Amino acid sequence: MTHTGSCHCGQIKFEVEGTFDTAMECNCSHCSRKGYLLWFVPRTQFTLQSPESAVAIYTFNKHAIKHHFCPKCGCAPFGLGTSRGTEMAAINVRCLEGVELGSIKRQFVDGRSF
């Protein structure tokens, strides 16, 4: 299944392949403030449809994930990183079109303790 997503103003647009019924909800200082609900997929399943110049990047702590956000509206729809040698995309399911957030199971992650 192909999901389309974007930031609030539409400057950042992307597609991601796959299905999910669960998203990770992390309590680290960054994720909890942003309200992220994350779905991790291999990087090959993610396609940025906007120019890379339309995206700003923020890293913190261990700099393991490059959190991508829109410099115009501030929305943070995805991040890119590497996990166990595999390039991954962390998709903020709140930025996907047509997703009923109430139907998503939330998997709690204690990122505050890392």
Beta strands of the chain (E only): which ranges? 2-6, 13-17, 22-26, 38-42, 46-48, 56-58, 65-69, 78-83, 86-92, 105-109
Structural domain spans, the chain: 2-113
pLDDT mean over 45-53: 96
Regarding the domain delimited by 2-113, which CATH topology (the fold level of the hierarchy) does it fall under? Answer: 2.170.150
Gyration radius from the chain CA atoms:
13
Nearest of 101, 102, 86, 92 to residue 69 by alpha carbon: 92
Mean pLDDT to the nearest integer, 84-99: 95
- Quick check: 63 pLDDT over 80? no
0.75 surpassed by pTM: yes
Given this model, what pLDDT does residue 8 score? Answer: 97
Are 48 and 87 in contact by the 8 Å Cβ rule? The answer is no
User: In this predicted structure, what is the pLDDT of residue 108?
Assistant: 95
